Every structure is written in C-alpha cells, then in structure tokens.
Amino acid sequence: MKNLVILGAGTAGTMMANHLVHHLKQPDWQITIIDERIEHHYQPGYLFLPFDIYKPKDIIKKIEDFIPKGVQLIKNNINRIVPAENKIQLEGGDEMAYDLLIIATGAKIAPEEIEGMKGAQWQKSVFDFYTYEGALALRNKLRKWQGGKLVVHITEMPIKCPVAPLEFAFLADSFFKHKDMRDKVEITYVTPLSGAFTKPKATETLEHFLVEKGIHIDHDFAIEHVDNEKKEIVDYGGRAIPFDLLVTVPTNKGDELIERSGMGDDLNYVPTHKATLQSKDHANIFVLGDASNIPASKAGSVAHFEAEILTENILRFIKGEPLKEEFDGHANCFIETGNGKALLIDFNYTHEPVEGSFPFPGLDHCNY
C-alpha cells in the first residue's frame, strides 16, 4: 500500500482529501491527513465576529465533520518534514512515511515581526481579526467602545484574503452608522500599497467606496514600529498616524513547520511552481492554499480552484504522465461593502477584474 499524506486540515487540505478519496482507494492507497487542531474554523467568519454578525458557533465545527470516510485523520503536532527520507516526524517520536505529500499548512499572523505591535496595548487598543482569539477580543472591545480614531492597517503583503482589511473598514462604517455614532468615529485605512488594492481597476472602484463612506486613506505606509505610549504607528520615514483603536493585519507567514524543515522562503512559504503546484525542490511534494509562494491571492476561492487542477496533476504524477501547467491564479472575492451590500471581483495572474453584472461582463455597473 502506498501513502499519500496531507499536512493541514483547513480549507485546502480538506478539499484535497475530499477530491482524492474518490480516485485513490484502498488497498492501493492510504490517504492520511494530519493536523494538530481538534476544531475546524471557518476563517472568513473572523471578519464578521467583531461586528456581532456571526457568533462563535457559526465559525467553529468539529474537524471530523469535514474528513471523508476512508481518510485517516491524525491529530498531532508535526515536528519536521524530512524530504530526503520521504517521511514526517511527529511530536512524541512517531514517524510517517509518504510516497506523495501535499502541504496545506496555511499561513499565520506574526505580530512579533513589528516592534511594539504585540506590546502593552495588544488586545487593549491594538487588535487583529485574523485569529479567532483576536476577532473575539475585538468584538468585546467594539461592544463598549465610545469612538475616536479607528485605524485599519496592513503591515505588508502577502496576506490572507487581501480584501479583508477593506471589508473591515466598510463594515465598521456600517456598524457605527447603525449604532448612531458614526460621527464619533474617524476611520483611516492605512496600506503599504500605492492604492487600495493590488489590481488597478479594482483599486479605482474600491477607493471610490472609501471616499464615499468618508474613510481616509494613507498609501505607501511601511510600518517601522507601534508606539504604545503615544498610541501611534510610525513608518520608516518617521510619519506617524495616531489611533485610539488600531485594527491591524500583521505580517503573514507560513507555518513554523516549514522553517523547521528548511523548506521555505524568508516568510516560510514553500517555493512552488505556479502553474502545476508542484514543489520546486521535491518532485513528490505538492503545495496549495496559503502555504505556497505562488503570486496568487491567499484565499479560500484560490484553494478551491487549485484543488481541481492539483487533483488531476497528482493522478498524472502517479501514472508517470507530464503535469498540466493549467493553474492560472484564478481568484474571486465577494467584498462586503456594508449595509447588506457586496461586490464581486474575479481575476487571475494576467487578467484584471472586469466591470459587469455576474456572470455577464460588459454591463454599465460593477459586479454587485
């Protein structure tokens, strides 16, 4: 029996397990998925938790609910991947050999990368919403916050769901309007980019929304440190932006497992062929979702489109056939704009979002 091992039972890993279980059957193949967690979190729900739109029960489910029959689930920490020996070292000393490995270990925030970010004001007036704990703490803060300067900030790219900080700013505008206190809140959107988003056409539309909603925008802000005493974020040029409440997206990095295994770049992302999703360094290792370094959005929709291509490529690899170079970076994002409205953008490596009404391009308004 041959072993296909999937590291990570998040969105990407569970999708691959559900795809492959229909193609790789016992006794020829055993599919195993390994994750340290006991819960599956719907991470897009973190955006809605601070505004009491979602409750914890809407976000957290049992991890077993998403693992298909016929797939072995191991709940354990992974110490290292040893590609030269085709094995995984688990906490406690156990080892697991693999014939094929899929890395879907995701990305995490690293607030410690910025001086002062995780300082005295952390979860007092400085919050993230990219973790369950951060989103829950921010919900509790917003329930009693009386207003002031709200700064929504991105440290650097890449980040999971690049539109989420914009969505937070839009939802905050709507949230405070419904609390009849929008006039007491000054919202500023701070980005290291030269515009609101990575794609020029989308940037034009999204910046229009910011202006329309009275949200200030500061571009090209490369944060150097957070001053906890003055309650300011300061960039490398000395520019300072004051806050009463800072909602920041810290540096995003791949899992520490990748660093321990010596397989990642400076941010612990695995070098991956952007069209085949095969590791650039190891032929029998494939990578998808937020764990890879491909120049696509780190978003659930991207993992969905990757999983379709990767399933076929794994089957081709097993048969000794050439891999298809067909993943084009396809992403689509529903962007919450507040007040019960949203828009959709759809793009890939080379094509920008087009205007129109989904699914028909070319009409006179954006993709609502």
Other C-beta atoms lying within 10 Å of the C-beta of residue 131:
17
Per-residue pLDDT, 202 = 75
CA separation for the pair 113, 365 (Å, rounded): 41
**Which pair of tokens denotes residue 47?**
């955006």
For 36, residues 6+ apart whose C-beta sits below 8 A from its C-beta are: 75, 76, 77, 78
Per-residue pLDDT, 353 = 78
The answer to whether 162 and 141 are in contact (CB under 8 A) is no
List the domains of the chain with CATH numbers. 2-106+255-319 (3.50.50.60), 109-248 (3.50.50.60)
Residues facing residue 290 across a β-bridge: none
pTM of the predicted model as reported, rounded to 2 decimal places: 0.93
Residues facing residue 278 across a β-bridge: 286
Give the amino acid at 238: G
Extended strands (E) in 165-251: 185-190, 216-218, 223-227, 232-235, 240-242, 245-249
Per-residue pLDDT, 25 = 87
Per-residue pLDDT, 261 = 98
Q: Give 10-residue mean pLDDT values along the chain (368 residues).
A: 97 97 94 95 96 97 94 96 98 96 98 98 98 98 98 97 95 97 98 82 84 96 98 98 98 98 98 98 97 96 97 98 97 90 89 66 39
CA separation for the pair 347, 244 (Å, rounded): 36
